[in-house]
């Protein structure tokens, strides 16, 4: 089995939806473009990756969303050194078709109170659903390692939540651990590095917004009816 020395996860650059959430009412989530800032973020990530990979071969998996495909193009990796595959299982959490901004904002309030892993958007997925398809992808990824000529690097160009769930599945983190972590910023990356003991470790942790094990109050505080 030829396990890669590095598994690199990159979040797409800033998209139109990151800059203005009203765009979801007019453009499908999967069709959102990168902003000018998003293109710059992706190009900067590409400069770092070209330094990391050098002249080594890379097996690349890209979410089918436009912003992730454009991010990959902006990385400008040497086409002679990469093997690229579109991977639908690495797509963004589905929020359901056209989105009403006010309704989505309300559902996000519900999700913050209910928990990001278990809350299911009305017409879409829960974090647990994304976890399941990431697990399915990992099974395919493991099988690819059986090829004796597997590249020494793997690159996933995907989304923030998917990155956290990938690491949750890989490192067997608990739901509470997942809930304590923040998404990486646009254009940010994390690397799983193969150690001398044969185990992978993160090059740097995800930022935390709370301490794991801290109890959350899973209630929504509604405005008082007193007038």
pTM exceeding the 0.95 threshold for the entire prediction: no
223 pLDDT band, cuts 50/70/90, is low
Q: Could you tell me what percent of the chain has a pLDDT over 90?
A: 81
* pLDDT (tens digit per residue) in 99-142: 888 888 898 899 989 999 999 998 899 999 999 999 999 999 99
Q: Are 46 and 82 in contact (CB under 8 A)?
A: no
Question: In the prediction, which pLDDT does 103 show?
Answer: 86
E strands present in 132-209:
153-158, 189-194, 200-202
Catalytic residues: 12, 92
Residue 89 dihedral angles phi and psi, to the nearest 5°? -70, -10
Q: In which residue are the tokens 């304590």 written?
A: 180
Judge whether residue 224 has pLDDT over 60: no
pLDDT per position as a tens digit, 196-206: 999 999 999 99
Mean per-residue pLDDT over the chain, rounded: 93
**Beta carbons within 8 Å of 98's beta carbon, 6+ residues apart:** 24, 25, 28
Q: In the prediction, which pLDDT does 221 show?
A: 60
The answer to whether residues 96 and 123 touch, using CB atoms and an 8 Å cutoff, is yes
| Domains in the chain, CATH or no CATH each | 6-94+128-202 (3.40.50.1240)
The whole-number pLDDT of residue 212 equals 79
By the 10 Å C-beta count (0-12 exposed, 13-18 middle, 19+ buried), 114 is classed as middle
Band of pLDDT at residue 53, cut at 50, 70 and 90? very high
Q: Band of the pLDDT at 225, cuts 50, 70, 90? A: very low
pLDDT of residue 126: 96
Tell me the pLDDT band of 227, cut-offs 50, 70 and 90.
very low
């Amino acid at each position: 089995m030829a396990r890669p020395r590095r598994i690199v996860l990159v979040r797409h650059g800033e998209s139109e939806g990151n800059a203005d959430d009203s765009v979801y009412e007019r453009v499908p989530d999967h069709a959102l473009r990168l902003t000018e800032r998003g293109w710059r973020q992706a190009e900067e990530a590409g400069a770092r990756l070209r330094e990391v990979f050098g002249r080594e071969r890379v097996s690349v998996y890209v979410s089918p969303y436009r912003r992730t495909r454009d991010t990959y193009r902006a990385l400008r990796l040497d086409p002679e050194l990469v093997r690229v595959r579109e991977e639908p299982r690495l797509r963004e959490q589905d929020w359901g078709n056209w989105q009403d901004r006010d309704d989505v904002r309300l559902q996000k309030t519900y999700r913050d109170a209910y928990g990001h892993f278990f809350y299911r958007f009305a017409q879409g997925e829960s974090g647990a659903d994304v976890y399941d398809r990431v697990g399915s992808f990992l099974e395919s990824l493991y099988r690819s390692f059986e090829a004796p000529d597997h590249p020494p690097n793997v690159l996933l160009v995907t989304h923030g939540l998917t990155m956290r769930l990938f690491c949750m599945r890989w490192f067997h983190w608990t739901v509470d651990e997942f809930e304590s972590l923040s998404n990486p910023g646009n254009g940010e990356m994390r690397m799983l590095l193969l150690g001398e003991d044969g185990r992978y470790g993160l090059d740097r942790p995800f930022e935390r917004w709370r301490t794991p094990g801290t109890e959350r109050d899973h209630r929504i505080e509604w405005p008082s009816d007193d007038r």
